[in-house]
Amino acid sequence: MAEIGIYRCSSPDDCNGQFQNNPYDQVSVPLAEINQVDEPDYPCLIPPNVCGEEGIYRFTLNLPVSDESYFVSYQRCCRNVTIANILAPEDSGATFMIELTPLAQQLCNSSPSFETYPPMIICNDAPLVYDHSATDADGDQLVYEFCAPLLGGGPQLDPAFYNTCIGANPIPACPPPYDNVTFRAPTYTATRPMAGDPIISIDPTTGLITGTPEFQGQFVVGVCVSEYRNGLLLSRVFRDFQFNVASCDPTVVADIEEDVQISDQEFVVNSCGDYTIEFNNQSFQQSFIDNHEWTFEVGNGQTETYSEWSPTVTFPGVGTYEGQLILNENTDCGDTAKIFVNIYPSIEADFSFAYDTCVAGPVAFTDLSVTGSCCLTDWYWEFGDGNVGTTQNPNHNYAIPGDLPVTLTVRDTNQCVSSLTQVVSYYPVPALIVVSPSAEIACQPAEIFFDNLSFPIDSTYDIFWDMGDGGSSMDISPTYVYENPGVFTVSVDITSPIGCQTDTTFDDLITVLPSPIAGFSYAPEQPSNLFPEVQFTDESQGAVHWRWDFSAPPPSFIPSPTFTFPDTGLYVVSQIVTHPSGCMDTMSVIIDVIPEIRYYLPNAFSPNGDGTNDTFRGKGFLTGISDFQFRIWNRWGEPVFETDDPLESWNGQKHNVGQPAPNGVYLVVVTFKDPRGEPVEMKGYATLIR
């Protein structure tokens, strides 16, 4: 809904005390029609795919003829923040207004009418021709000019101000005077709203907007159309819109696959030693290409023409040749690519190599490459083991064996390139056998890792280790366990896949020292809180020093100690013994010190008050128990006593407060959980004697 304000004013600066809350008239106008904005007409360009819509509002006003002007206005905020030619566009609203002068009213004048809507997109660096002219039913003179768009409304979104003159949606539009937007002068002004070469301008007579924009972006443009009859101003119509300048794709572009691109339309294709070239046509947009033609000068003033999309051309020899690819010849939407073809002399990479096939050493590479140009300039070697080189004749040491693909790539002064790959079968034995054991002196049993640092070797080599104690291995780097003490000489024999052999003996390489054997027994085998003292008896062999760790202080350093455990639970007891060689051994056991309870029930009592056996209860050691229940029943199954207190006794009366129970035998049941939560149940009989 468009909220229109109508004001009758003696001039744009004097509206006779009319304000937004008391306009001359106001009207709410619904949207009548929506139309898609046409794309601009660029015969040889494709603008970005941006859609726009035009909304049309139609309404009728019956206004009496007046000696004052009528101002019909609509306002709304705000503009796009990305607009480039005015200050604070995100806070700048717009006023859309027409002034009906007194003379126009007296003559019942028809105002100018625009038939088209400005294009959504203008192509950057492309000539703009847009007919912004209007038609006038009365045939009056129309004068066009760029003018300052008008401000209206403001950025306020607060509901208290939203529909006021500073709000985003004034209802109705506010009266004149209206301020102008502020252009970013001096680059942009009201009469020069856009840059360009030639600059964007409007013809005052025809309304034709022309020029070539040079910068992409969004620009606010105001157009004013003044209507004159017999030299007198009848009306002035303001039009305010946004030009969007963007990069547009050409419909036809000549392009080829090249070695060097000199410019957008100049390409270089190089060939080294091959006189026949297949040209790859990469021109676009192919749907707009109606015809194409290739031409090449092939020497002696001769020109060859080709009609294939991607032709194959044979040139007569070494030299430089010119050609071109022409698209849509003699049309407005054509394009031409200029092509320079360089046929250079051939270049061929080649090399030889030499090395001792049986004993590892450097491989000597010799460059044998040739070129028909002045000379070679670059050498790039890939040795097949991840390493590279850039000298002409390198020596390379390999750390790995194998069938290694070696590639040489050479370049000459014409930037021609050639590559050759040859396989070097490299299977020598190491020049020196190098072994690094994880330890040279170790305690029995000694687990030793032998790191074989010799190169080049891999799994294809036969390797035999003599460990010096009768044992052997065929691993490249074995792990071996010496069970007995002694000094051992280790030898290694290596045979390559092509039969080369080498060996080395490492005299007295490994020394294994004797170790003690830890061992002990203990009693009692089941200690408890009632019997926490344990006697440990040493059964070790070859020890001269002892250390005992009981998982509780203090430790002990005698062969057979006695230890009292401070509490129940699991204890790890370790004996660490030391041999005169300094080697050690450890034995550990887990000892469970159990929480022991003892409880028994008497079989009779005599509650006669003589001070002896006057009450009945169980006795014993119950530390750590839980959920204790003590119950007594008579012969008829009737409960006579119950308690959860282990220290409370039955006095022979029913529940200790009723009538004395008769002589007889009573059933007793006691239940509880032991200190480790296991249930315990005890049953017995109590004989009551009075």
Q: What does the H/E/C string look like for 554-583?
A: CCECCCCCEEECCCCEEEEEEEEEECCCCC
Residue 532 and residue 459 in one domain:
no
Residue 304 and residue 162 in one domain:
no
- Residue whose entry in the numeric block shows the structure tokens 């020196």: 432
Residues 6+ apart with CB under 8 A from 21: none
Residue 6 and residue 149 in one domain:
yes
Residue 505 and residue 603 in one domain:
no
| Mean pLDDT for the stretch of residues 665-678 | 94
Residue 364 lies in a domain: yes
Residue 515 lies in a domain: no
Residue 547 lies in a domain: yes
Domain boundary among 426, 444, 468: 426
pLDDT exceeding 90 applies to what percent of the chain?
Answer: 84
What integer pLDDT is reported at residue 658 of this predicted model?
Answer: 85
* CATH code for the domain in which residue 503 is found: 2.60.40.10
Q: What is the pLDDT of residues 248-294, one digit of tens each?
A: 888 899 999 999 999 989 999 999 999 999 999 999 989 899 999 99
pLDDT over 90 (residue 38): no
Residue 117 and residue 224 in one domain:
yes
pLDDT band at 16 (very low <50, low <70, confident <90, very high): confident
Residue 133 lies in a domain: yes
> For residues 486 and 444, what is the distance between their CA atoms, to the nearest angstrom?
9
Residue 397 and residue 542 in one domain:
no
Residue 379 lies in a domain: yes
* CATH code for the domain in which residue 610 is found: 2.60.40
Q: Mean pLDDT, the chain, as a whole number?
A: 94
Q: What is the pLDDT of residues 413-472, one digit of tens each?
A: 999 999 999 999 999 999 999 999 999 999 999 999 999 999 999 999 999 999 999 999
Residue 415 lies in a domain: yes
Residue 276 and residue 415 in one domain:
no
Torsion, Cα of 158, 162, 164, 166 (10° steps): 70
Nearest to 118 by CA among 220, 45, 212: 220
> For residues 441 and 449, what is the distance between their CA atoms, to the nearest angstrom?
12
Q: What is the pLDDT of residues 469-488, one digit of tens each?
A: 999 999 999 999 999 999 99
pLDDT band at 114 (very low <50, low <70, confident <90, very high): confident
> For residues 551 and 10, what is the distance between their CA atoms, to the nearest angstrom?
109
Residue 357 and residue 211 in one domain:
no
What integer pLDDT is reported at residue 341 of this predicted model?
Answer: 97
Residue 80 and residue 146 in one domain:
yes
Domain boundary among 510, 539, 572: 510
| Backbone φ, ψ for residue 241 (5° rounding) | -145, 175
Domain boundary among 205, 222, 246: 246
pLDDT over 90 (residue 139): yes
Residue 530 and residue 467 in one domain:
no
Domains: count for the chain: 6
What integer pLDDT is reported at residue 250 of this predicted model?
Answer: 85
Residue 259 and residue 138 in one domain:
no
| Mean pLDDT for the stretch of residues 625-636 | 94
What integer pLDDT is reported at residue 316 of this predicted model?
Answer: 93
| Mean pLDDT for the stretch of residues 131-146 | 94
Q: What is the pLDDT of residues 512-557, one digit of tens each?
A: 999 999 999 999 999 999 999 999 999 999 999 999 999 999 999 9
Q: 649 is in which domain, residue-wise? A: 598-688
Residue 273 and residue 242 in one domain:
no
pLDDT band at 137 (very low <50, low <70, confident <90, very high): very high
pLDDT over 80 (residue 195): yes
Buried b (16+ CB within 10 A) or exposed e, 141-169: ebebebbbbbbbbbebeeeeebbbbebbb
pLDDT over 80 (residue 611): yes
pLDDT over 90 (residue 346): yes
